[in-house]
Amino acid sequence: MDTRAFKRSLHHSDRYNRRGFGLGEEVAGSLEQAYQSNLIASLRENGYQLQHGRLSVKLAEAFGFCWGVERAVAMAYETRRHYPTERIWITNEIIHNPSVNDHLREMNVLFIPVDGGVKDFSNVASGDVVILPAFGATVQEMQLLNERGCHIVDTTCPWVSKVWNTVEKHKKHDITSIIHGKVKHEETLATSSFAGTYLVVLDLAEAQLVCDYILGKGDREAFMARFAKACSPGFDPDRDLMRVGVANQTTMLKSETEEIGRLFERTMLQRFGPTELNDHFVAFNTICDATQERQDAMFALVDEPLDLMVVIGGYNSSNTTHLQEIAVSRGIRSFHIDTPERIGPGNRIEHKPLDGELEVVEPFLPQGPLRVGITSGASTPDRVVEDVIGRLMDLADA
């Protein structure tokens, strides 16, 4: 499929909108009431610090809603205002935050049901309005909705669209896209749908396996068994790993994406030599600025003397998980929660350890003076961070 031609055609349709409806002022009050926080604004003005009795709170200097998320949520609110009576669907969570998605449900926005891991579009009818979330939708979903005669409101983050443009460039030049991402994540599914030949690698260890194969150190059968669900149909490692380009899910750990790029460059240099390197390896910078800023701020925060760390964001939020990784890598006692309600009742917390299942820790806060670092993922509203700090203050006072 010529995905570029399809996108051009879709963008010229009178049933497609990616700019909003000019209702920003009308929905501003609702957004402010639901998501903004006077306390967080005060902390920003006070050096991102708060002292409350024995509790010292230190916020990361970049956290929470990014521009792409703010844009997506505002467009969803505008859509409901612009289409007051029409059925409105969304193909997935607008962003990975439970409170934001609950607000949309309260506005009678319907979510495409998922059965056995497969989305069921059977109830979506011609004339319905369908919102594409911040991390995008697959080209096949867009095609289905367009052919069904739906009104499409596209809130895809421009940084995600930039990655799609990158893998389309790879496809145009018969280059295999090595996508650093989580193979089942909605953004990676969307990105791979715009690619030609692709292979998804989760981390540096998987990237090393691919590079070893390029250098003749791997076993074909074992390789295909490992990546069977992470590659394009008909993928042939002996043919398709000769010319590669690196792209990424925009919320992955920046330093790891960069190291994966360097690893493939070194591998192709070793395999083909310096004079032919440019024929076998290309690199584009597809790291999201907001993701980078929040990770950089987290690295600065974990250099502070902290007794524990609270990371706030959806459990299926990739960028939040990577913030948690940074804290864990520094050996800091760290807790990832998705809502303030995970704290209490009493001195307890229900949290999700990295790569683990939900567990309860009690007692949560130790006695004596306490220094707590706090950050939140790009899908977390300031109001949620405020509520978490409020619960920490109540516990410290108890």
Active-site residues, by number, are 187
Angle between helices 289-301 and 254-272 (to 10 degrees): 110
Q: Which residues pair with 129 in a beta bridge?
A: 88, 151
> Which of 317, 290, 393, 368 lies closest to 57, judged by CA?
393
Q: Do residues 343 and 364 lie in contact, with contact meaning Cβ atoms separated by under 8 Å?
A: yes
Amino acid at site 88: I
**Cα 224 to the center of its chain, rounded Å:** 27
Question: CA end-to-end span of the chain, whole Å?
Answer: 62
> Which of 237, 244, 247 lies closest to 278, judged by CA?
244
Q: Which residues pair with 310 in a beta bridge?
A: 335, 374
The DSSP 8-state label assigned to residue 345 in this structure reads: S
- DSSP notation for 136-151: ---HHHHHHHHHTT-E
How far apart, in whole angstroms, are the C-alpha atoms of residue 382 and residue 143? 36
Q: CB neighbours of 236 closer than 8 A, spacing ≥ 6?
A: none
Q: Do residues 245 and 166 lie in contact, with contact meaning Cβ atoms separated by under 8 Å?
A: yes
Q: Do residues 302 and 326 lie in contact, with contact meaning Cβ atoms separated by under 8 Å?
A: yes
Cis (ω within 30 of 0) for the bond into 363?
yes
Helix ranges, the chain (H): 3-11, 24-35, 38-45, 67-82, 98-106, 139-147, 158-172, 186-194, 204-214, 220-227, 237-240, 254-272, 277-280, 289-301, 318-329, 382-397
Amino acid at site 258: E
Six-digit token string for 358: 């939900």
Amino acid at site 99: S
